[in-house]
Structure formats: C-alpha cells, structure tokens
Amino acid sequence: MSSFPTQAAGVPVLVLREGSNRSRGREAQHGNITAAKVVAQSVRSALGPKGMDKMLVDNFGDTTITSDGRTILDEMDIQHPAAKMLVEVAKTQDNEAGDGTTSAVIIAGELLSKAEELIEKNVHPTVIIEGYRKAAAKALKTLDKIALPVDLKSSDFLKKAATTSMGSKIVAEYKDYLADLAVKAMLAVSEKEGRVRKADVDDVKVEKKTGGSLLDTSLIYGIVLDKEIVQSGMPKRVEKAKIALIDASIEIEKTELDAKINIEKPEMIEAFLDEEEKILREMTDKILASGANVVVCQKGIDDMAQHFLSRKKVIVIRRAKKSDMEKLAKASGGKIVSSIDDLSASDLGYADLVEERKIGDDKMTFIEGCKNPKSVTLLIRGATQRMTAEAERSIHDALCVVRDLIQEPKIVAGGSAPEMEMAGALRKYAEIIPGREQLAVRIFADALESIATTLAENAGLDPVDILAELRTRHEKGETWAGVEVLSGKVQDMSKVNIFEPLSVKKQIIKSANEAASMILKIDDVISSGKMNAPPTPPGGMGGGGMGGMGGMGGMGGYPGGEF
Ligand SMILES: Nc1ncnc2c1ncn2[C@@H]1O[C@H](COP(=O)(O)OP(=O)(O)O)[C@@H](O)[C@H]1O
Ligand SMILES: [Mg+2]
C-alpha cells in the first residue's frame, strides 16, 4: 500500500517517490472521517451559554482562554488534512457570518459521523452527497419560511440578537452593556445604499487597554489612537479640532546619494542650517495656512517642524498607521493628502475634541465628537489582558450579528428551535425522496438535532428527554420551542428573547454541508514522503494544553497511520 507500484510487463513502475504513502477506499474515508469527528468533538462542549471554556497553550507557553469555536480551532496545532478542512469550516463561517462557528463544526462532524454509518451499510458516498445536497436546500427553504422580518427603525431586535451572541461567551455577565455598545457602533457606521443598508465591521475600530473593568469599555464617536502627542510643549487638548491628515514626511528629504559638502567657513554652516530651517518653516506655514490645529502624520516629522507647530498650539501625532489614517478620514470627514503643497482648508477633518489621556499605563489620543462619523472606536477595558482579548472576540461576534441583521433584516429564535424545525421538515421531505438518498436526508435531520442534544448535554440536562419533548412540541406546531439552558426547560425561545440572524443559521447549513461533502468525496489519500516527518513538534497538538480532549491521541499519528 505504501509504495504505489504498478506491474507493467513484469517491471514494477514506481509513480510516487519512495516513502510516499497511500490509502484508499474505505480506509481513506474512515481515516478522514475519524479525524474530522475528533475536531468536532473538541468544540462540542463549548456550545451555548452553558458551554465550557477552553484554555489553549501555544508553543511559547502563552495561554488563551476562550469559548469561541474558531479561536479554539485556530489555536490548536492541527495537522491532519481532513481535520484541517473542519478548521476551514470555522473560518468560512466566521468570515461569512461572524457567528455560529461552533454550530457549523458540530453539524459538519455529525454529518460525517452519520454518513459513515451509511457507508458501512454499503450506501455509496456519492448517494449520500446528493441526498445531503437536497436536504441542505430544503433546510434553507425551511429557514426562509420561518424567519421573521425585523424593522430596523427600532434597534430592539439588533440588541436582542447581539445580546444572544454574547450570552454564550465568557463575558456574558456584561452582555447587556457590551451588546448595547456593539449595536450603537454598528448603526453609526452603517449607510443606506439604494434600498438596502450596508455595514462593515472594519469601520468599527477596536482598541483594548488592560485596566479598569469591562464596564469601563466605551464607544467613541471618532478614533482612538494608541499614540501620544509628539511634544510635551503642545497642548493636551484642542476643542473644535480641524485635523490635517498627511501622508508625507514633514522632514527635509535625505538625499539618496552620499553627498558631501565641504564647509570652509563657519558662515557656511549657518547658511546651511538657515536653509533647512527655511524649508521646514515653509512646510509648517502651509499647514498652518490651511487652518489646521491638529496634524496627524503617517510619516515622521522633524523636531524643528514640531517646534514651529507647537508654538502655534497645534497638536501633532506622527507615524500613525495607514489603517488608522483611513479610519480617521472616515470618522472626521477629512481627506488624506500626500503632499503638503496640496493641503487646503477643505481637506481638514473635524472633531469636537482632540485630547491625550492616560489610559492604564499608556497615553492615548482621543479624536472624538466627529460629526456623523463613518468610523468609530470601541475601547475595551478589562482587568487582565486575557479578559480584554476574549472581550474583543466576543464583541467581534456581536458586531457581525448586528451587521448581518442590518444587511438582511430577518431573524430566527435560537436554542435549537430552528434546527428542530428544519429536522422536522426534512423527515417529511424524506418520505417523497426515492431510493437511498432518502436515508441521507434522514440522517441530515439527525445531524441538525445534535444542536439540541449538545445544548442540553452542556447544560447538564438529559438530552434524550429534551429531544423527545422538542420533537413533540414542534410536531404540534410550536415553531420556536427550544431548550432554554439557563432555566433548563423547553420553552418558546422567542418569548425569552433569544434571537439570531437568519443569515448566520443559513451559513451554518451551507458551511457544514460543503465541508462534509468535500470530505466524503475523497476516497484516495496520497501523501508525499515529506509528510512522514513526525507530525507534531514537541508541545504541539499532543501537549497543546487541550487536556480532556479524549481521542486526540489518534490525531497525532494520523488515524490508521496512513500518512
Ligand atoms: N439562553 C439560551 N438557551 C439556549 N440556547 C441558547 C441560549 N442562548 C444562546 N443559545 C444558543 O447557543 C448557540 C450558540 O452558541 P455559541 O457558543 O455562541 O456557538 P456558535 O459558535 O455556534 O455561535 C445557538 O444555537 C443559540 O441559539
Ligand atoms: Mg455564538
């Protein structure tokens, strides 16, 4: 199996390099499915508000504590190619919808594990894939049917959805406060484009500074720069700021060539320095002529120029990041100029206040009170760096959820209610699907129900009882019956304000189905000799701090040892 020899006229022909490995058919499928299942298993216990958190330790000993599906998988040093595809699911889900990563990975894992049972009963993978395709299409239709439209005139549902997404995070205790900030931030930067609204999470700048508590986290209608004002002689505060955004150095250009100046008389030095001063003065005069009282420069600025500006009570910030310059332009309504000669009053941005403040141990510059800013800043505070990091990840999810709803204002209730509805619809649908594809549609329904059982398990409830009750109540037409894990009861999730964007749920189905189908299609795994190197560096996967991830041991050496 390992060499790939072909017998041609008695002479063995080696196609692959020596040391290459190959596994095919059932064996390859089994290896891939097992690996993917292990990955899904590792995030399972993190699902929902009662999910557990993970502590991840990297090769340098840095730890991350999170309950975020994508982060867990990102931090794990996964090597197996099929397992990596599940990591991709989390990435796709995160990029497309921003929330629902854990759910997508769990469902993908279930789709594979259930498919394996069918394969063992001799159902061909292509039949399963086709059945899954039909099931996914039907599931998406069901979601569309049950989704409720949201009126964006009120931010009520935006807030509820943002709060739901925060509810399953470590920072859940502060979910109301943080969700409110996320909604306000996203609404501020959203814009009407024709008949739809567009919003981009990149327009919300997230800065974090350790210190204080999460309740000190604030929304600034402008930009906070992690920079101090260049000279202590400059004012620390300017009201009604007119801001010049300059992408050019305010220095004398150094010549490219090694020029040599022979100075013969002391007067020559003076003349030389005078000339330098004159050039710098001209530059600063041009800036002052525009009416600017704040200068944010992407490049360097000469001490002498700083001095001239300081005398005129102008605040200067240098070496601002390009991305910050762009955000500042959006926030203040200013224009970035790349030559001081081009700077005019109309290029200046506006802010009610520019002020340097001490935050924690550092000085930061606040540019706030911008008029109708199209970029804003969330400044996250928290007792420890780990806390602010997890808050940033959680706020990211909330911002994405709000963005999703702004762009597609449709909502579903959570707590596995939509998954149960889809499962019910699929079982009915299966009855009209002929042949073995019907079996695939049925197991797709089972896989969707794993969200309910996982939520229940993680909350210490009996998954069998909960599932039975959910099925009965959905059959009776209770669309939003779900398992509310805080009370531990099956109830109408729309009454307890657990809401999620339709687009998140749809993306979960798409991402999970795509990944599962892709893995099922593989029946031949050929790996070059290079892959035979020890798969994990010391301290990698095996000792990666993911204690309790039973079954992970099989990953290190690749299931079946086929690679
Ligand atoms: N109070 C609640 N009771 C039951 N389920 C909830 C509750 N709040 C949120 N959920 C559910 O938790 C799931 C999301 O959990 P989460 O850990 O954020 O995973 P994901 O990465 O998939 O978003 C969703 O199915 C959501 O409906
Ligand atoms: Mg979530």
User: What whole-number distance in Å separates Cα of residue 193 and Cα of residue 533?
Assistant: 53
User: What whole-number distance in Å separates Cα of residue 330 and Cα of residue 52?
Assistant: 40
Mean pLDDT of 342-361: 94
List ligand 1's pocket residues with C-beta within 6 A: 46-49, 51, 69, 99-103, 164, 167-168, 414-416, 451, 455, 483-486, 498, 500
Read off the tokens for 165: 């997404």
User: What whole-number distance in Å separates Cα of residue 222 and Cα of residue 31?
Assistant: 52
pLDDT of residue 255: 61
DSSP for 454-481 reads: HHHHHTT--HHHHHHHHHHHHHTT-TTE
Which residues, 6+ apart, have CB-to-CB distance to 123 below 8 Å?
436, 439, 440
Read off the tokens for 208: 């974090």
pLDDT of residue 320: 95
Work out which ligand 1 atom sits closest to the CA atom of 104: 22
- Residue 174 near residue 380, CB atoms below 8 Å: no
Mean pLDDT of 201-220: 94
Question: 514 CA to middle of ligand 2, Å?
Answer: 20
Read off the tokens for 283: 């530059």
Give per-residue pLDDT as tens, 16-29: 666 677 777 777 78
User: What whole-number distance in Å separates Cα of residue 472 and Cα of residue 94?
Assistant: 33
Mutation probe of ligand 1 site: the residue of 42, 43, 47 with most atoms within 8 A of C-beta: 47
User: What whole-number distance in Å separates Cα of residue 43 and Cα of residue 89?
Assistant: 13
pLDDT of residue 35: 84
Give per-residue pLDDT as tens, 35-81: 888 888 889 988 998 888 788 887 777 888 888 878 888 777 777 87
Q: What is the mean pLDDT of the chain?
A: 87
User: What whole-number distance in Å separates Cα of residue 47 and Cα of residue 160?
Assistant: 19
Question: 46 CA to middle of ligand 1, Å?
Answer: 10
Work out which ligand 1 atom sits closest to the CA atom of 167: 8
Mean pLDDT of 490-495: 96
Among protein residues, the one whose CA lies closest to atom 5 of ligand 1: 415
pLDDT of residue 256: 60
Q: What are phi and psi of 409, to 5 degrees?
A: -75, 70
Task: Pick the closest to residue 243 from 304, 320, 307, 191 (CA basis).
Answer: 320
Alpha carbon distances (Å) from 172 to 104, 129, 198, 226: 21, 38, 28, 27
Lowest average pLDDT, out of 1-5, 184-188, 405-409, goes to 1-5
Give per-residue pLDDT as tens, 412-461: 999 999 999 999 999 999 999 999 999 999 999 999 999 999 999 999 99
Q: Inform me whether the pLDDT recorded for 536 exceeds 50.
A: no
Phi/psi region, residue 473 (left: phi>0; alpha: psi -120 to 50; beta: rest), is alpha
Give per-residue pLDDT as tens, 359-379: 988 999 999 999 889 999 999
pLDDT of residue 9: 59
Q: Inform me whether the pLDDT recorded for 203 exceeds 70.
A: yes
Using pLDDT thresholds of 50, 70 and 90, give the confidence band for residue 85: confident
Using pLDDT thresholds of 50, 70 and 90, give the confidence band for residue 563: very low
Mean pLDDT of 269-297: 90
pLDDT of residue 83: 85
Question: 82 CA to middle of ligand 1, Å?
Answer: 26
User: What whole-number distance in Å separates Cα of residue 23 and Cα of residue 411?
Assistant: 45
Q: Inform me whether the pLDDT recorded for 137 exceeds 80.
A: yes
Q: What are phi and psi of 354, to 5 degrees?
A: -120, 125
pLDDT of residue 378: 96
User: What whole-number distance in Å separates Cα of residue 119 and Cα of residue 137?
Assistant: 22
How many DSSP H helices and E strands does the chain contain? 16, 23
Work out which ligand 1 atom sits closest to the CA atom of 486: 1
Give a three-class secondary structure readout of 359-384: ECCEEEEEEECCCCCCCEEEEEEECC
- Residue 389 near residue 75, CB atoms below 8 Å: no
Ligand nearest the Cα atom of residue 508: 1
- Tell me the pTM: 0.84
Residue with tokens 């009662």: 50
Ligand nearest the Cα atom of residue 459: 1
Q: Inform me whether the pLDDT recorded for 537 exceeds 50.
A: no
Question: 10 CA to middle of ligand 1, Å?
Answer: 62
Q: Give the percent of the chain with pLDDT over 70.
A: 89
The beta strands (E) that lie in 19-115 are given as 21-24, 54-57, 63-66
Alpha carbon distances (Å) from 210 to 248, 389, 434: 33, 10, 60
Using pLDDT thresholds of 50, 70 and 90, give the confidence band for residue 7: low
Q: Inform me whether the pLDDT recorded for 468 exceeds 90.
A: yes
Ligand nearest the Cα atom of residue 498: 1
Q: Inform me whether the pLDDT recorded for 520 exceeds 60.
A: yes
Question: 512 CA to middle of ligand 1, Å?
Answer: 17
The DSSP bridge pattern shows strands 5-8 and 11-14 to be: antiparallel
Strands lying side by side in the sheet with 148-149? 148-149, 410-413, 499-501
Give per-residue pLDDT as tens, 34-45: 888 888 888 998
- Residue 216 near residue 378, CB atoms below 8 Å: no
User: What whole-number distance in Å separates Cα of residue 466 and Cα of residue 462?
Assistant: 6
Alpha carbon distances (Å) from 439 to 110, 132, 420, 513: 15, 10, 18, 16
pLDDT of residue 560: 37
Residues designated as active site: 68, 101-102, 397
Q: Inform me whether the pLDDT recorded for 189 exceeds 70.
A: yes
Looking at per-residue confidence, does 137 or 83 come out higher?
137
Question: 274 CA to middle of ligand 2, Å?
Answer: 63
Work out which ligand 1 atom sits closest to the CA atom of 46: 17
Among protein residues, the one whose CA lies closest to atom 12 of ligand 1: 48
pLDDT of residue 317: 96
User: What whole-number distance in Å separates Cα of residue 444 and Cα of residue 436?
Assistant: 13
Using pLDDT thresholds of 50, 70 and 90, give the confidence band for residue 195: confident
Read off the tokens for 150: 């949201």
pLDDT of residue 14: 67
Work out which ligand 1 atom sits closest to the CA atom of 451: 25
DSSP for 380-410 reads: EEESSHHHHHHHHHHHHHHHHHHHHHHHS-E
Ligand nearest the Cα atom of residue 164: 1
Using pLDDT thresholds of 50, 70 and 90, give the confidence band for residue 539: very low
Q: Which helix (H) or strand (E) holds 208?
A: strand 204-210
Q: Inform me whether the pLDDT recorded for 208 exceeds 90.
A: yes
Task: Pick the closest to residue 368 from 337, 395, 328 (CA basis).
Answer: 328
User: What whole-number distance in Å separates Cα of residue 186 and Cα of residue 178?
Assistant: 12
Q: How many residues does the chain have?
A: 563
Mean pLDDT of 218-246: 94
